Amino acid sequence: MTAQFKKQKYKGFTIVVREQKPNVKEPTTEKGWDKLHENTNLLEVFGTHGYEILNKQGEILGTDIYDMWDYGACFENAKQDIKTGWVQDYKKRK
């Protein structure tokens, strides 16, 4: 990820969203988005942004760098990871 980033605190965690270089061209039409989502393994698509969720000690507990195209989407997805308990269960999965 590149140096451009934004941070946000949420329920005791820190969400860091960074800009990154995408590996596919960002679609500009609804048809283009549909084609991307229907014909592509989204775990291979790097969007223009990605996020990390850190605990109070600064440890990365979760990350998502796939198919994210703006700061807002990253913050919302990270908050969902926290709300659902996915991040809190990280050490159990590790």
Residue extents of the structural domains in the chain: 5-93
Separation CA 46–CA 71 (nearest Å): 14
3-state secondary structure of 38: helix
Q: What angle do CA 77, 62, 50 make, to 5 degrees?
A: 55
Please check the confidence at residue 92 and state whether its pLDDT lies above 80.
no
pTM of the model: 0.84
Please check the confidence at residue 3 and state whether its pLDDT lies above 80.
no
The pair phi, psi for residue 85, each rounded to 5°, is 90, 0
Q: Quote the pLDDT of residue 30.
A: 95
The band of 94, judged by pLDDT with boundaries at 50, 70 and 90, is low
The band of 64, judged by pLDDT with boundaries at 50, 70 and 90, is very high
Please check the confidence at residue 34 and state whether its pLDDT lies above 60.
yes
Q: Quote the pLDDT of residue 1.
A: 45
